[in-house]
Amino acid sequence: MAMRQRKLGTDGPSVGAIGLGCMSFAGAYGKIDEAQAHRTLAAALDLGVTHLDTAQLYGNGVSESYIGSFIKDHPNRFSIATKGGIVTGPQRRFDNTEAYLRESLEGSLKRLGVDHVDLYYIHRRQQDIPIEDVMGTLVKFKQEGKIGGIGLSEIAPYTLRRAAAVHPVMAVQNEYSLWTRLPELGLLQACADLGTTFVAFSSVGRGVFSNRMPVIDDLPDNDFRRSNPRFAEPNYALNKAIVSRFNDFANSQNMSPATMANAWVLQKGEHIIAIPGTGSPEHLAENAAAADVVLTEAQLAEIDRLLPVGFAYGDRYSEGQSVGPERYC
């Protein structure tokens, strides 16, 4: 099945406008085994979802291993991005040194069963290493043929500009959705100016833009949302009351809330792709449907009325979760 395509960077591959975020494969939102991950990846092929986004961090390689075991029998069907630069363990820290990034990349390639990925991100910046030096390391990886393009995650516009002065940045990945609008304050614009694709993660608000809004008491103890301010009371009840009106509107327009939420993201710029995460073929189908939707001016106006900028109660991250993402504006 063909899907509307968008390019990664100016000279990277064309990929489906909706990709698949694979953090869910590592159990961040409930346990998923390899068979379930493979069913989701098979559905992606059927739906025209061609871009997979994973990371060394996701389950300490579990997500990458699940992808690797699938693509062994389905080679050259996906464009794959992965990420490195976070040291896991009791004292989690960021390490952007060449030695650690090289070790991380080699591990990712081994788990994926490939000798090259189309896109490699710095998952989080180590602030005491100049971004120019980090870019130098990534340029080496590209020259060695190990990566096709350079990516940066959760960064500010000023970091992108410094990085792009060294070498073109293929993609920047930050959270962006109807309830997380920070990228509109300069990052979307900087990406467009520099020929960098903006990759929106959590584009369905970690499941809130859905007919199956999360029930917090039913979530696994290790679910990310249990410690997230927007899902803590009283914030969550207030958010649900607002978001449910959007969800009802989406249904009244003959599309699921997830489809409408992703379509809204895509419509904010031709240089944007979305990578909503899921381990469910059914949810993936709702996400993928957004690639074929063009919202009308009337629909966009109603969305703005129902979900005005800044409507969400609670920050997008707790204090513990917010270590690493760069702040701006």
For the annotated catalytic residues, the residue numbers are 58
Residue 269 carries which DSSP code?
-
Separation of alpha carbons 168 and 10, rounded Å? 9
Q: Give the β-pairing of 93-94 and 171-175.
A: unpaired
Which residue carries 């249904």 as its tokens? 251
Q: What would the DSSP string read from start to end of 122-171?
A: ESS--TTS-HHHHHHHHHHHHHTTSBSSEEEES--HHHHHHHHTTS---E
**Strand positions, DSSP E, the chain:** 5-7, 14-16, 20-21, 51-53, 79-84, 86-87, 93-94, 119-122, 150-153, 171-175, 197-201, 272-274
Alpha carbon 156 to chain centroid, angstroms: 16
Using CB atoms within 10 Å of the CB of residue 192, give its burial: 0 to 12 exposed, 13 to 18 middle, 19+ buried: middle
Find out whether 166 and 195 touch, Cβ atoms under 8 Å. Answer: no
Residues 6+ away with beta carbon under 8 Å from 251: 211, 257
Phi/psi of residue 153, each to 5°?
Answer: -120, 140
